[in-house]
């Protein structure tokens, strides 16, 4: 293994990025992924529930938790990206993965603010009518729901790229010598 490829599998800082073979970034992404998937479930169920207000409110706060979790995961992810040699397919994949995640996080943050603005923003956008009390207790409006659905679809693409970085390119997982140790009898 060349020195450059060997270094790509080592942490920039084990304290900040996680020890060799156990990077923090893949552990931390479970928070935003779980929160955002759960928020989509809450969004969808709010469209059919007889009392959807608590589901809409829960979804909004799950989005906020996901955004905070994504920011934490991004910090560890940046450190992993810095370990990859520039100009390589792995680095280009990492840049695309990072770019998509930034777009996704910004979209969810905008969705949270849209939901936080409440019925006035929906009425101004022409997506809902009625009083604040009617809308506050109602299901998630179609606009924020579609924004979340689109963001979640992009998250699937970005997750695929993250898997490609770990499983195909072995970024921060294990070099070939360490992998071979696991299969010796």
Return the higher-pLDDT residue of 23 and 71. Answer: 71
Lowest mean pLDDT among 8-12, 25-29, 108-112: 8-12
Please give the residue that has the higher pLDDT: either 111 or 120.
Answer: 111
- Whether 132 has a pLDDT exceeding 60, the answer reads no
With CA atoms as reference, report the closest residue to 82 among 97, 94, 96, 100: 94
pLDDT in tens, 42-84: 999 999 999 999 999 999 999 999 999 999 999 999 988 988 8
Torsion of CA 152, 153, 159, 160, to 10 degrees: 170
- Give the other-Cβ count within 10 Å of 31's Cβ: 16
Q: What is the mean pLDDT of residues 157-181?
A: 82
Q: What is the pLDDT of residues 37-49, one digit of tens each?
A: 999 999 999 999 9
pTM score of the predicted model: 0.81
Nearest to 93 by CA among 26, 167, 34: 167
């Amino acid at each position: 293994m060349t020195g450059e490829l060997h270094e790509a599998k080592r942490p920039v800082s084990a304290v900040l990025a996680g020890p060799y073979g156990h990077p923090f970034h893949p552990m931390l992404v479970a928070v935003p992924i779980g929160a955002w998937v759960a928020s989509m479930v809450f969004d969808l169920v709010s469209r059919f529930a007889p009392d959807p207000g608590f589901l809409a409110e829960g979804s909004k706060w799950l989005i906020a938790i996901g955004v905070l979790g994504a920011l934490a995961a991004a910090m560890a992810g940046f450190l992993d990206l810095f370990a990859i040699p520039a100009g390589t397919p792995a680095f280009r994949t990492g840049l695309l993965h990072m770019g998509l995640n930034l777009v996704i996080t910004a979209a969810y943050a905008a969705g949270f603010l849209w939901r936080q603005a409440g019925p006035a923003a929906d009425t101004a956008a022409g997506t809902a009518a009625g009083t604040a009390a009617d809308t506050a207790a109602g299901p998630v409006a179609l606009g924020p729901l579609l924004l979340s659905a689109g963001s979640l679809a992009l998250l699937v693409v970005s997750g695929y790229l993250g898997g490609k970085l770990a499983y195909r390119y072995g970024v921060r997982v294990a070099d070939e010598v360490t992998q071979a140790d696991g299969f010796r009898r």
